[in-house]
A and B are shown apart, each in its own frame.
Chain A
Amino acid sequence: QQQVKQSPQSLIVQKGGISIINCAYENTAFDYFPWYQQFPGKGPALLIAIRPDVSEKKEGRFTISFNKSAKQFSLHIMDSQPGDSATYFCAAGAGKSTFGDGTTLTVKP
């Protein structure tokens, strides 16, 4: 049973554009929703995280939008840059996170 569904699987965006990745979760007990960035051959690194008591969190070019009633959250990358090209994972849960399947983002110069 997949508890966190992530889409799209891959995404191509032009430099300067907005990248949007979506996730949906099933377990309403989840109370922590992080996004991770992973480059090839490296471990994931936390980008930004949100708790369900807020609907949006922004850190620099990265924004999480959270819809508790729909059990959905999304990552928006503004002014996407080639250096943002990586695989992005959403996750849910504070103690033991459940990961989405990942989205491979390619930002074309």
Chain B
Amino acid sequence: GENVEQHPSTLSVQEGDSAVIKCTYSDSASNYFPWYKQELGKRPQLIIDIRSNVGEKKDQRIAVTLNKTAKHFSLHITETQPEDSAVYFCAASLSGSARQLTFGSGTQLTVLP
């Protein structure tokens, strides 16, 4: 089955700096890659997603890049703010949708004021 590895497990940045979280996946047939943000005690919330026919997608301060050849994708957050502090999960799916998402183990991002 699919396996998703996520790095780093913890990341601290100064407010205003950029943060980058990287994930690799094992199954080259995976075609949908969402990123979820989970604040302590709250539900995971989708922040951005990308499909395999696109190399990059941007939404304000958040961007995701996908390298299908290398089977890795990354989340980039620019101009970080304290409210960006949370656990971020990447995921991959073979179905092109939210069916059977395989999640990474998460990255605890702390934005220091």
Chain B associates with chain A: no
B residues bordering A, Cβ < 8 Å?
none
A residues bordering B, Cβ < 8 Å?
none
